[in-house]
Amino acid sequence: MSTPMWRKSSYSGTGDQSVCVEIAPFPSGIGVRDSKNPGLGHLTLPADVFADLIDRAKRDELDL
């Protein structure tokens, strides 16, 4: 298995202001991990579930 290519949004801050997640493609879906603690592991979501999550976040439908 190749090393995942993790990336985070260009809108994310840096240093102590970096409160973002990173994403990477996996054969089984989209990996999501904490950008401040990448060594703690990741959650893999099916691509359709990840797309729905992003759509709902854009519509401000999540209680975050």
pLDDT one digit per residue (tens) for the chain, 64 residues: 588 999 988 777 666 666 788 999 999 999 999 988 899 999 999 999 999 999 999 999 998 7
Model pLDDT, residue 39 = 93
Model pLDDT, residue 6 = 95
Model pLDDT, residue 11 = 73
Instruction: Give per-residue burial for 4-40: e unless 16+ CB within 10 Å, then b.
Output: eebeeeeeeeeeeeeeebbbeeeeeebbbbebeeeee
DSSP secondary structure letter of residue 3? P
Query: Residue ranges per domain, the chain?
Result: 1-64
Residue 12 in tokens: 């994310």
Whole-structure pTM value: 0.79
Model pLDDT, residue 16 = 61
Q: Residue 47, SS3?
A: helix
